Amino acid sequence: MPRDRFITLEGGEGAGKSTQARLLATKLEEMGHRVLITREPGGSPGAETIRRLIVNGDTDRWTPKAETLLLFAAREDHLARTIRPALARGDWVICDRFVDSTMAYQGVAQKLGSKFVNELRELVVGDDMPALTLVLDLAPETGLARAGRRANGEDRYERMETEFHETLRQAFLNIAKNEPERCVVIDAERNETVVAEAIWAVVRGYLDRDCH
């Protein structure tokens, strides 16, 4: 069963996921909920160490299979040390990227295929899937222009070819289309306030429906 208080934000580079995670957390906290914001790859000390191996360096630093194994190693540690304990406390968890990113980036855009990713998802994630996934959708050129303004040096994916990012966008849209009960596509071309309002409308509807 999906985890009721587990929300993920997905999308390509520069979609505004981290900003929207913070804005959504503020809304939930105003309602009296405890909220943990986390991210992937990362979210626990061990996973953050693995993150540095993945988001830096040459674009061809890893084979797709090696990169996927690293991501799931980080995800195992993240789930065990951060996500599951928070959910067990009754907190809401908002995660900037989760397993859908692995499917989109490595499974589709890096052409690894879905079978390997799904097998690892079953092994590592199991029933700990989010109940709600918000897919922030925008044109790759817009996202890359926004991402280019970041100064943290974590630009390995941004430096990949245009075709990669176009494939990535379609991969996320296909995931959302195939799992409409979990995924909602949000138009992220708009300014962050409008996007935040659209996200809150979805989450508020989810709260009214499922979390009495």
HSE (CB half, 13 Å, CA atoms) of 127? 4
Band (pLDDT 50/70/90 cuts) for residue 212 is very low
Total length of the chain: 212
User: What is the reported pTM?
Assistant: 0.93
Q: What is the pLDDT of residues 129-151, one digit of tens each?
A: 999 999 999 998 888 888 766 55
The percent of residues above 70 in pLDDT, for the chain, comes to 95
Helix (H) or strand (E) run with residue 137 in it: strand 130-137
pLDDT band of 162, cuts 50, 70, 90 = confident
Residue range 106-128, pLDDT digits in tens: 999 999 999 999 999 999 999 99
Convert 124-161 to b/e letters by CB count within 10 Å (16 or more is b): bbeebbbbbbbbbbbebeebbeebeeeeeeebbbbebe
Q: What is the CA radius of gyration of the chain?
A: 16
Closest CA to 74 of 99, 103, 56: 99
Q: In the predicted model, is pLDDT for residue 201 greater than 80? A: yes
Domain positions in the chain = 3-210
CATH second-level architecture of 3-210? Answer: 3-Layer(aba) Sandwich (3.40)
Question: What is the rounded CA–CA span in Å between residue 93 and residue 3?
Answer: 10
* Residue at 41: amino acid letter: P
User: What does the block give as tokens for 89?
Assistant: 């406390």
